[in-house]
């Protein structure tokens, strides 16, 4: 009688073969490309790999955000919060692709004016708040270029980025609240939140600090957090942001509707300082 090969032996053998093949390819690659004359080529390959990994893909379709919202719609969201709504592009997509009601925060007056225009289309589903969100209840200076700029930020540190420093030459004092305070004062009976999207140009950490009780008590189903070069100049990382979200699984949004890739937040490849969007899903939720 023919003996059956144990499954674990097959798995281990395949793993060994993959390791051998990878080691051989790596050595060949390094031998050819680890020269000063080939570094430009390495840069191109690295940039292409980063695009495929989910970094540096802009636009709602190219970034893959549209597919995430379609995935979100399958969970029948009722309440979503858009922090850093600007003129309302993301908010509008939320309203179009789900049946959720949306609370949208935007501190810049001109951008908020456009956001209010969207409220006229969805009067029963959109609430617009002309405030910033952070870790204090006060007033803060916001730095911006155009009066409805998507790159406006409360963080002076991001002026280390040349393109932003050259544009964010204006400043204005605006009201800022913590998410915990806003919910306690405005919606004390709120029992749950489906999505909190945070796009605050380097102020994401402060938003999470100011949402400690919301995270603990309401246990939102999903967080979408924009991560970028900005965090480098604030000595932050995706890992540091994720420490405020215990009990959540992390995913990176892949471009052009390829879906979500599970990631290890402790991995250096998940903490690259380039533009990307990450999803934190409550661990009991299957995506």
Q: pLDDT, tens digit, for every residue of 135-154?
A: 999 999 999 888 888 889 99
Distances (CA, A) of 175 to 17, 90, 137, 180, 210: 59, 22, 8, 15, 15
Q: pLDDT at residue 9 above 50?
A: no
- Decide: residue 27, CB within 10 A, 0-12 exposed, 13-18 middle, 19+ buried: exposed
pTM, to two decimals:
0.91
pLDDT confidence of 2, banded at 50, 70, 90? low
Output 159 or 251, whichever has higher pLDDT.
251
Give, in degrees to the nearest 5, the angle at Cα 89 between 182 and 101.
45
Question: pLDDT at residue 6 above 70?
Answer: no
Q: What is the mean pLDDT of residues 178-188?
A: 97
- Per-residue pLDDT of 53-78, as tens digits, reads 999 999 889 999 999 999 999 999 99
Task: Express each pLDDT in 211-227 by its tens digit.
Answer: 999 999 999 999 999 99
Query: What's the rounded Cα separation, in Å, for the pair 126 and 95?
Result: 8
Say if residue 199's pLDDT is above 70: yes
């Amino acid at each position: 009688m023919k003996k059956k090969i144990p499954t674990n032996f097959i798995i281990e053998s395949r793993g060994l073969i993959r390791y051998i093949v990878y080691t051989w390819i790596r050595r060949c690659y390094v031998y050819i490309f680890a020269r000063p004359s080939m570094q430009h080529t390495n840069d191109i390959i690295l940039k292409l790999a980063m695009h495929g990994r989910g970094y540096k893909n802009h636009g709602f379709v190219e970034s893959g955000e549209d597919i995430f919202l379609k995935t979100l719609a399958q969970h029948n969201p009722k309440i979503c919060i858009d922090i850093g709504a600007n003129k309302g592009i993301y908010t509008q997509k939320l309203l179009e692709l789900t049946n959720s009601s949306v609370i949208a925060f935007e501190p810049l007056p001109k951008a908020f004016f456009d956001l209010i225009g969207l409220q006229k289309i969805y009067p029963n589903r959109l609430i617009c708040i002309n405030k910033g969100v952070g870790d204090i209840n006060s007033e803060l200076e916001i730095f911006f270029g155009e009066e409805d700029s998507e790159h406006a930020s409360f963080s002076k540190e991001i002026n280390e980025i040349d393109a932003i420093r050259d544009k964010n030459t204006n400043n204005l004092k605006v009201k800022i609240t913590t998410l915990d305070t806003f919910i306690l004062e405005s919606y004390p009976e709120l029992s749950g939140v489906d999505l909190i999207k945070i796009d605050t140009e380097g102020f994401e950490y402060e938003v999470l600090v100011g949402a400690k009780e919301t995270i603990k008590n309401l246990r939102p189903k999903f967080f979408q957090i924009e991560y970028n070069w900005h965090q480098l100049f604030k000595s932050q990382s995706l890992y540091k942001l994720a420490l405020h979200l215990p009990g959540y699984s992390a995913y990176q949004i892949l471009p052009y509707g390829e879906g979500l890739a599970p990631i290890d937040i402790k991995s250096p490849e998940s903490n690259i300082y380039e533009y990307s969007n990450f999803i934190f899903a409550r661990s009991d939720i299957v995506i």
